[in-house]
């Protein structure tokens, strides 16, 4: 898997993941479990014998700290890191800071599920997955994909929905199938791409 390697990792459990709160762009830190998940992710990548040429992350500390922990485990603390808000979690708008169970009681399970998982339905004042993809995918195409296609090994630490937007394209999900996709915290997804940028191989290190 030395050529055209792309590894995606959602940040470890955050303080607001633990509290079951909508987080979005709120800059919360990792929990102790989140740190442990990042450590495990780094160790699992090391166990695969992987080394990287460059890394990408968002401007939010939970993703940055996850990346730092993984790079330390890999012995690659000096790896170039490119940070951009294009890779931030989706903005949950008026839902930020609300408990998800309380939101379900207020608006109903079906409506909250649409806000959380659908492709094109945005929460009040926030972004849909389509809106998130509108910033993630151009950044991927301009900054990340060319490096992968040149044969660089690329590590991306980001968020549940910024990665869902990217995985939707990589795995060719439909607007219906993407509703069922959840990306677990701290679990590396290893892709090897073809020269035409399609997926040649995918491995989920949770398996």
User: Two tokens at 91?
Assistant: 């903005």
Contact between 191 and 6 under an 8 Å Cβ cutoff? The reply is: yes
Beta-carbon contacts of residue 159 (< 8 Å; ≥ 6 apart): 10, 11, 58, 60, 62, 63, 87, 88, 89, 90
- Answer whether 6's CB lies under 8 Å from 156's CB: yes
Return the active site residues. 11, 89
């Amino acid at each position: 898997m030395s050529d055209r390697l792309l590894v995606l990792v959602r940040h470890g459990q955050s303080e607001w993941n633990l509290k079951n709160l909508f987080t979005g762009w709120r800059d919360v830190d990792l929990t102790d479990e989140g740190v442990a998940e990042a450590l495990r992710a780094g160790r699992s990548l090391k166990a695969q014998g992987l080394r990287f040429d460059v890394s990408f992350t968002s401007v939010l500390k939970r993703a940055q700290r996850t990346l730092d922990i993984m790079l330390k485990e890999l012995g690659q603390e000096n790896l170039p890191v490119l940070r951009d808000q294009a890779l931030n979690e989706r903005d949950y708008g008026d839902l930020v800071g609300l408990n998800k169970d309380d939101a379900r009681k207020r608006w109903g399970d079906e409506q909250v599920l649409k806000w959380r998982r659908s492709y094109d339905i945005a929460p009040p004042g926030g972004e849909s997955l389509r809106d998130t993809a509108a910033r993630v995918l151009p950044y991927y195409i301009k900054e990340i994909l060319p490096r992968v296609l040149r044969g660089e090994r690329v590590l991306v630490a980001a968020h549940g929905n910024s990665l869902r937007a990217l995985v939707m394209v990589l795995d060719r999900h439909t607007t219906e199938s993407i509703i069922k996709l959840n990306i677990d915290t701290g679990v590396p997804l290893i892709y090897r791409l073809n020269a035409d940028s399609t997926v040649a191989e995918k491995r989920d290190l949770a398996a």
